[in-house]
Structure 1
Amino acid sequence: MVRKAIIPAAGYGTRTLPITKVLPKEMLPICGRPALDFIVEEAINSGIEQILIVVSRSKNMILDYYDRSVELETYLEEKNKTHLLKKISPPNVHFQYVRQTYARGLGEAILLGKHFVGNEPFAVMLPDEIILSNEKEPLRQLIDMFTEVKGNIVGVKKMDPSQLKNYGVIQPELFKNTQYKIKDIVEKPQESPPSDLAVIGRYIFNPTIFSYLENVKPGVGGEIQLTDAIKAMAKEYTSFGLEVEGKCFDIAKMSEYVDLINYIWNSKEG
């Protein structure tokens, strides 16, 4: 049973500057809600009970958003606007936070959740990637597969070859249907990608991932890359890729951020 999720949210948001100088990328507005709220909602709908958000010192807005605002609640009650209370009530999930002092990569952010995770399998959800599905929540798709195979699972999506240089890409071996065994994984291949299956920011890991993260050699800027840990782990433990059903939006790309807003708005009107 997967009950815990880590959401890394400590990055500088350089792809969305200059707005992210003052507004965390995770709090970019999407039809009246912050982007992060879509990730949290997906987690809750997938059965997650505890969420650890990895933040930096400039991300206190995230903590404030998921905390109670007693003053605002009192104001709404006094003005007989109690119908708005539901909109500002914190979601029914237990939040924890940890601060990543320096942005030393996704791998380090996940390592900060080692004590939070304990000996349980857990999810990792990247807030850059919002995935909307008309069927089952994207994370729920991975959890259901984990229930069957008990191995580490990476969410993947077929991408246009021109886009693969921006993603981690797996070398797959067909397991069944839209499930694959991962033979290798390459981070942002500039040429000759091993497949058209790109990693899209949803993962299920067993706690064994931490030993690999602890032994990853830091790369440029001292960053610890999750891809390097997955590559090493896949050589010793069977790891899987699952094609996720749903429409993916990378909100750090302005064109996809706008597409997401239009998609949600048009869906509401329809």
Structure 2
Amino acid sequence: MNVRKAIIPAAGYGTRSLPITKVLPKEMFPIAGKPAIHYIVEEAVAAGIEEVLIIVSRNKNVILDYFDRSLELEAFLAINNKEYLLEKTTLPKVHIQYIRQPFARGLGDAVLLGERFAHGEPFAVLLPDDFFVTGGGVGALEQLVERFYKTGKSTVAVQKMEKADLHQYGVIKPGQAQSGEASDITDIVEKPKVDPPSDLAVCGRYVFTPELFSCLHSVLPGAGGEIQLTDGIRSMLKTSPCEALEVKGTRFDLGKEEEYYRLIEHYLKNR
């Protein structure tokens, strides 16, 4: 079955980027003239996604406005003979839906809100904090989708990281290595404080079979008192296989100021 649907959780408070995130969601941080979430949706479309569900909260209405038409702007440009600027307002060609996460109960809870949207199909998850530049190659999500079509297994994107940084991420314990730089996941730990199971950190791109939802239903609050997606994956491993794929490309964490600036610098140099 094709991966046609993607969930983008965008309901968080963005506390790492305060104070600007009091008024501007981090998903709307500008990168070379477009908000970050625009690139994330484009990545999904490039991977064959036809429908996107964006999980928002009460203070994220600007995301809905961005992906809507502005009739006032179009009329203004027409009156002033500036229709040529309309191409700058072109949006990714994909059907977008929205749902609110009423309480900040964690990433796992946000993904669970997409159960009806997925409707029993395999689906992707893209975290807008994680931004990938693949240098004109295959996008991060597309790499996962291609792997899923070969195996039919849930697939999680990982990259090697320094041990000092692993406590900030979910970290997998790899099992038997498969072809194509993928390996079976035997365990996964959310933000390990000591003794991480490997140097492979989960980095914001996933393709799941619908079995994940039943596992998330049974997950208890974990790290930070939240429903963790990592714990849902860990539960799923008991009954369904899951692979980790080392995705090719440079990853930027938009929640880290220095990485955000480096990403802008990259786009300015390569416009």
TM-score of the aligned structures, taking structure 2 as reference length: 0.97
Distance in 1 separating the partners of 2:63 and 2:110: 16
Amino acid at match of 2:132: I
1:213 aligned partner: 216
Distance in 1 separating the partners of 2:250 and 2:222: 32
Secondary structure of 1:72's aligned partner: helix
Task: Please list every run of at least 4 consecutive aligned residues from structure 1 whose deviation after the TM superposition is greater than 4 angstroms.
Answer: none
In the TM superposition, what are the counterparts of 1:2-17 in structure 2 within 5 Å? 2-17=3-18
Query: Do the aligned partners of 1:105 and 1:223 also contact (CA within 8 Å) in 2?
Result: yes
Secondary structure of 1:84's aligned partner: helix
Give 1:222 shift: 4.3
In the TM superposition, what are the counterparts of 1:44-83 in structure 2 within 5 Å? 44-83=45-84
Identity of aligned residues (%): 55
Secondary structure of 2:59's aligned partner: coil
Give 1:190 shift: 1.5
Gaps of 5+ in 2: none
Matching residue within 152, 159, 170 for 1:150: 152
Distance in 2 separating the partners of 1:231 and 1:164: 17
TM-score of the aligned structures, taking structure 1 as reference length: 0.97
Amino acid at match of 2:76: Y
Distance in 1 separating the partners of 2:232 and 2:128: 20
Count of aligned pairs: 268
Distance in 1 separating the partners of 2:222 and 2:171: 18
Distance in 1 separating the partners of 2:89 and 2:127: 23
Query: Do the aligned partners of 1:183 and 1:235 also contact (CA within 8 Å) in 2?
Result: no
Secondary structure of 1:176's aligned partner: coil
2:263 aligned partner: 260
Distance in 2 separating the partners of 1:57 and 1:92: 25
Mean CA deviation greater in 236-245 or 218-227: 218-227
Distance in 2 separating the partners of 1:30 and 1:166: 24
In the alignment, structure 1 residue 176 sits paired with structure 2 residue 179: yes
Distance in 2 separating the partners of 1:147 and 1:81: 45
Gaps of 5+ in 1: none
Query: Do the aligned partners of 1:155 and 1:200 also contact (CA within 8 Å) in 2?
Result: yes
In the TM superposition, what are the counterparts of 1:126-165 in structure 2 within 5 Å? 126-134=127-135, 135-165=137-167
Give 1:178 shift: 0.9
